[in-house]
Amino acid sequence: MIRLMLLTGFLGAGKTTLMKNILDEFAGEKVGMIVNEFGETGVDGALLARQGVLMSELANGSIFCACIKENFLQSLIDMSKPHVSQNGKHAYISHLFIETSGLADPSEMGRILEVIMPLCDKGYDYRGAVCLVDAETFLELSDLLPALTRQVEYCGAAIINKADLVDEERLKLIAETITQLNPGCEIIVTSYSRLDVSALMDRLSPVEKAPIDSTNTPETRPSSFVLKPAAQAEFSVEGLHGLVKELSPYAYRIKGFLPTADGVAAINSVGGHTEIDPWTEPYPGYALVVISSIGIGVISKITKALDDAEFKGKLCL
């Protein structure tokens, strides 16, 4: 059977970093990945693309929302089939890792697997869900966003990430909150999404909790906006930092790729922390995705930020 692990966690909690670590750990095995993003432009898939990894990208909604759920079911079925490996022979993947979008509500995962199992070539050994918890933001956001509570309630293990950025008292309070939501949950404290995933999968198991209707609906999905540069446009790294800083208070997450005088820059910002680094790997095209925390009201904030001389007429919604 194909070992299956679901990875949940809020925007910027470190899911993509953990997926990179997983690819390193399972480098010698045939691995499949399903990467889910809210926006229409896939960024995480480009960051994770690697030779020999079977990849499926599902964008523009949550895999647990009716908007793209059918595509998710089909991806699970397709991943169960044999695929051509690097030596030209057909082979099944040994592991499938699913990176959900940041506001995914995974409470229907058990029901989904029941539906697709009869249609799969090779069955799935569902090891359960792992929830990545952002130590900096979880306490403040968990009361505001129902999906974050569901992510913890339906996980077999909660990974408190970014532990190096908070004090021991906050870590203790986070652990207590997780235990209240899910008393049987294993709790692991780490930084930079570092953990032994293989060992965790061996002891992980699905939560014994009945599937319920997901809170992910077309009405509750967050608004995302894509900014694209004009032809031949280039931006300074300093200017990009300024733009992201101006938009950060109104966004859950800002990420993408934009051109600079020194080449492609990969942009990643969450919770006021911004990284803008040179990028030399393949990428889906120039775009900056803003996942809004205030809905369409962010349009006026974006328009104002783009009035800056460096971006006016060069970076547009």
- Is residue 13 within 8 Å of residue 161, measured between CB atoms? yes
CB atoms closer than 10 angstroms to residue 28: 8
11-24, pLDDT tens digit by residue?
889 998 999 999 99
Give the model's confidence band at 220: pLDDT under 50 very low, under 70 low, under 90 confident, else very high: low
Q: Are residues 124 and 252 in the same domain?
A: no
Is 153 within the bounds of a domain?
yes
10 with 128, same domain: the answer is: yes
Question: Between these two residues, 88 and 317, which has the higher pLDDT value?
Answer: 317
Quote the percentage of the chain above a pLDDT of 70.
92
- CA distances in angstroms from 47 to 19, 271, 287, listed in the order given: 10, 20, 14
Q: Is residue 104 part of a domain?
A: yes
Q: Is residue 93 domain-resident?
A: yes
Whole-angstrom distance, CA of residue 189 vs CA of residue 4: 22
Read off the pLDDT of each residue in 220-229 and give the average, rounded to a whole number: 82
CB 205 within 8 A of CB 156: yes
Task: Give residue 44's pLDDT band: very low, low, confident or very high (50, 70, 90).
Answer: low
User: Any idea what DSSP says for residue 222?
Assistant: P
CA angle 96, 218, 100 (to 5 degrees): 20
One domain, residues 31 and 76: yes
Regarding whether 240 and 92 lie in a shared domain, the answer is no
Say yes or no to pLDDT of 40 above 60. Answer: no
Last residue of a domain, one of 151, 174, 203: 203
Residue 39 pLDDT greater than 60, yes or no: no
181 and 237 belong to one structural domain: no
Most confident option among 55-59, 62-66, 264-268 = 264-268
> Does residue 134 sit in the same domain as residue 75?
yes
The reply to whether 235 falls in a domain is yes
- DSSP-derived letter for residue 40 is S
189 with 250, same domain: the answer is no
Same domain, 196 and 277: no
Q: Is 169 a member of any domain?
A: yes
Which segment, 8-17, 188-197, 277-286, 291-300, is predicted with the most confidence on average? Answer: 188-197
Look at residue 42 and tell me whether its pLDDT is greater than 60: no
**Residue 303: CATH number of its domain:** 3.30.1220
Q: Hey, what long-range contacts does 63-66 have (CB within 8 A, 24 or more apart)?
A: 63/34, 63/36, 63/98, 63/100, 63/101, 63/104, 64/100, 64/104, 64/105, 64/106, 64/107, 64/108, 64/109, 64/112, 64/214, 64/216, 65/214, 65/216, 65/217, 65/218, 65/221, 66/217, 66/218
Domain residues for the domain of 290 are: 224-316
- Specify the pairing of strand 224-229 against strand 287-292: antiparallel
Cα 48 off chain centre by? 11
Report the pLDDT value the prediction gives residue 257, as an integer from 0 to 100: 94
**Is residue 228 located within the same domain as residue 190?**
no
Domain presence at residue 252? yes
Q: Which of 169, 203, 237 is the last residue of a domain?
A: 203
Does position 85 have pLDDT exceeding 80, yes or no? no
212 domain residue, yes or no: no
Looking at the fold, whether 14 and 69 belong to one and the same domain comes out as yes
Residue 11 falls within a domain, yes or no? yes
200: left (phi over 0), alpha (psi -120 to 50) or beta: alpha
Residue 233 is predicted with a pLDDT of 94
Q: What is the pLDDT of residue 214?
A: 77
CB distance 130 to 199 below 8 Å: no
- Min mean pLDDT across 33-42, 53-62, 63-72, 284-293 is at 33-42
68, 218 in Cβ contact below 8 A?
A: no
Model pTM score: 0.76
Number of structural domains in the chain: 2
CATH of the domain at 162: 3.40.50.300
Same domain, 180 and 257: no
**What percent of the chain stands above pLDDT 90?**
61
**Shared domain check, 181 and 253:** no
